[in-house]
Amino acid sequence: MEQPLSGFLTSSERKLLFAEHKRETDGRIRDRYKAILLLDQGWSYRKIAEALLINQNSIRRYFAAFQEGGIDTLILLNYHGRPSQLSEIQQEQLKDHLRENIYLSASQVRSYIEKVFSITYTNKGVVNLLHRLGFILR
């Protein structure tokens, strides 16, 4: 993608981006606003990436999103994790089991999952799975 020409924002778009940036609490979204504002000032993708400590390709994606649908598209966080290794039925079986049994560590739950479902998780993966299922290890 070619470097956009500076001054591509209208005055009202620029004011809106500044206002939204000031109000936004999510740093990821604030970086997106800054990237568009800096592109409008003529900064290069490389220079913005260095200043914001993010990848040049991210800057390009932000600009493409802004061109496609303005601020509404720019702020969409389309991060999707990978699907669970356990099927929905297996997740329900695990939830039922966890309600009836006490585990003191993620490694104990991991061993149970591996033994019963023949699926291998890391301890961190088990902790994330338990959180998604509504459980907390203490």
Q: Tens digit of pLDDT for each residue in 22-79?
A: 999 999 999 999 999 999 999 999 999 999 999 999 999 999 999 999 998 898 887 6
* Other residues' Cβ atoms within 10 Å of the Cβ of residue 94: 20
- Higher-confidence residue of 123 and 79: namely 123
Q: Report yes or no: 66 and 36 within 8 Å, Cβ to Cβ.
A: yes
With left for phi above 0 and alpha for psi between -120 and 50, is residue 97 left, alpha or beta? Answer: alpha
Condensed to tens digits (0 to 9), the pLDDT of residues 85-120 reads 999 999 999 999 999 999 999 999 999 999 999 999
User: Distance between CA atoms of 45 and 105, rounded to whole angstroms?
Assistant: 46
Examine the pLDDT at 2 and tell me if it is beyond 90: no
Let me know how many helices (H) and strands (E) the chain has, helices first. Answer: 7, 0
What are the b/e assignments for 123-136, b being 16+ CB within 10 Å? eebbbebbeeeeee
Look at residue 1 in the predicted model and tell me its pLDDT: 63
